[in-house]
Chain A
Amino acid sequence: QKEVEQNSGPLSVPEGAIASLNCTYSDRGSQSFFWYRQYSGKSPELIMFIYSNGDKEDGRFTAQLNKASQYVSLLIRDSQPSDSATYLCAPEEAGRRALTFGSGTRLQVQP
């Protein structure tokens, strides 16, 4: 069974700090990796995706991928209270379009 592991948190950071969210996955065939944000009581929304080893930056967000270590992370710079949410890591399994989601890391940004 494919597994996606995330620390459930809560991860608490002060406003303006860098939040680092980590995810490991078991399926070596996974090629693409998605980060979704889910506010309490709301549906998930895409933050960004990455499919090449290394870093990908989009505004305050940076995704990092290391396929050899089966590890993907999301960095949020200059964290804001509005970033407080659960962040879901979702690898896309090879040959399958449905995503396998981790249980998410709850981030709390303290004003």
Chain B
Amino acid sequence: GAGVSQSPSNKVTEKGKDVELRCDPISGHTALYWYRQSLGQGLEFLIYFQGNSAPDKSGLPSDRFSAERTGGSVSTLTIQRTQQEDSAVYLCASSPNGGGRETQYFGPGTRLLVL
């Protein structure tokens, strides 16, 4: 079946603008994760959604970052008033139930460049 999809694949924006990044998880997966990866770095956790539970927002770096997941499926990560340090690859992953020892399946990522 189809994997995790993300859009856009690339985004160039000017400092101070808002951006929205979209993630469509694998059908039937109830858990959805957002990470970001700066150049040459590991993945940094941002936010986690599991079913109808309150999301784990503990990884969001500032209040400029927010995310929604509507209908338990598609998720949107919004970055307001973008800064140059927000430039990174934003990766979305999903897993079947959000339980322990589950494989997280990653999408292709959105490469964000803030000028």
Contacts and interface: CB of A to CB of B under 8 A. Distances in A.
Contact of B42 (A46, A92, A104): A104
> Taking chain A's interface residues, is the majority helix, strand, or loop, or is none over half, making it mixed?
loop
Interface in A62-87: none
Interface residues of A, number: 23
A42 B37 CA distance: 11
A51 B42 CA distance: 21
B100 A88 contact: no
Interface residues of B, number: 27
Contacts of B56: 96-98
Nearest to B104: A99
Given A43-B91, A104-B42, A98 B48 contact: yes
B109 interface: yes
B42 A88 contact: yes
Interface of A: 4, 31-32, 34, 42-46, 49, 51, 88, 90, 92, 96-104
11 contacts: A31-B100, A34-B103, A34-B104, A43-B106, A44-B43, A44-B91, A49-B101, A97-B31, A97-B50, A97-B98, A101-B42
